[in-house]
Structure 1
Amino acid sequence: MTEHTHPRIYGTDRDGPDAYTTRPGHQYVELAGGPLDGQLLDVTGLTADQRTTGAYLITEHSAYGPGGRASYAPTFNRPDGPWVWEGDVP
C-alpha cells in the first residue's frame, strides 16, 4: 500500500495520478466524520448559498450500500470548513 502525505480529493480514483494533488486556484474543504472522513471536497464552483447548505455526496460506503449518499455540511460556527457528516441518505 502506498503512503500518501496529502488527503485524497473526493471524486478521484484512489489510484489515479491526481487523487492526492490539489489544483492551484481551487478551494477545498475537509470532510470530517462518516464514510468520507479526511477527504477534500473541491468547492470552487459552488455558489455562496451552496457552500452554506452542504452537499449529498455519493459514496461506496454508505449505510445504503454502494451509490448511497452521505450528507456533509459546514457548521454554524465554522462556515469555511471542515464540513461535518450529518448522516447517510438513500
Structure 2
Amino acid sequence: MDDLVPRRTPRHVYGTDQDDPNPGPQPGRTYAELVGGALDGQLLDVTGWDMDESADGAYLITEAGRYGPGGRADYVPRPGDPTRWDWNGDVP
C-alpha cells in the first residue's frame, strides 16, 4: 500500500549534477525560484548576492533552451518578489 502514496521529490538546485544524491536546497543558503523557460521550478542559489548583483538577473546555461547546448536562459528578479526570478527569453 505504501507504494501508492505520492512521494515529494526535493526541489532541484540549478548547477547540481543530475545524479547528485542530494540536489535539493541546503540549510543556511538563500534561493530564488526560477519561473518559466527551460529551468522552470529549479532553485538558483543567490546566497551572498546583494541587490546590485542580482538586479540585472542572470544568463544561466541550459541545454534545453531554444539554442540547445551552450545556450543560456535569461532570468530576472520579479519586481516586488526577489524570491522568484522570471524567464525573459533565451540567448545564444
TM-score norm. by structure 1 comes to 0.86
Partner of 1:5: 9
Gap runs ≥5 in structure 2: 1-6
Report what 1:37 is aligned to.
Answer: 40
Consecutive unaligned residues of structure 1, counting only runs of 5 or more, are: none
Task: Supply the RMSD in Å over aligned alpha carbons.
Answer: 1.4
Length, aligned pairs only: 86
Percent of aligned pairs with the same residue?
55
The more displaced of 62-71 and 43-52 is 43-52
Counterpart of 2:49, as a letter, is L
Indicate the structure (1 or 2) with the bigger Cα radius of gyration. 2
**Which stretches of structure 1, 4 residues or more, deviate above 4 A after TM superposition?**
none
- 1:25-68 deviations in whole A, cap 9, x for unaligned? 11000000000000000001323212221100000111111110
Give the structure with the higher percent strand. 1
